[in-house]
Amino acid sequence: MTGDRTINTGGGNYNENIGRDYIQGNYYAAGQPQSLIQAAAEIQALLKQLETSYPADTPARDMVVATEVVKRIESDPTWKQRVIAAVKEGGLAAFEKAIDNPAGAFITGAIKGWQEVKNV
């Protein structure tokens, strides 16, 4: 067999027997790191919870909800560090896309600010 192959196992072990050679290793889903996916999922859950308190779907509501998310992340130093590490590993644009919410742009703006302050 020739050519490149992409094997997406969703995480875990992948074993392949090629002739006499045995290849084993840990293979993870291509694309976004697991830490980025987990951090984005936590933020998505919080966004859904907060959006019920602010039902009008407007940019002003998105800013209020994003501000509340940022406040909650900032109030938990462990969570804040996990989010910063996930973004550092997976990239800010990928994180915003993973959040998949209009408030995501405001949240990623705050995270970018945290990264810049940390790097100073």
Task: Give the structural domain span for 63.
Answer: 34-119
Q: What's the total number of domains in the chain?
A: 1
C-alpha angle 105-106-110 in degrees, rounded to nearest 5: 115
Is the separation of the CB atoms in 46 and 65 below 8 Å? no
What does the pLDDT read at residue 16? 53
- Residue 46 included in any domain: yes
What does the pLDDT read at residue 57? 82
- Residue 112 included in any domain: yes
- Residue 6 included in any domain: no
Mean pLDDT of 11-29: 50
- Residue 13 included in any domain: no
Q: Three-class SS of residue 45?
A: helix
Q: How many CA atoms lie within 13 A of 8 on its CB side?
A: 5
**Full-model pTM:** 0.67
pLDDT at 117 over 90: no
Is the separation of the CB atoms in 14 and 28 below 8 Å? no
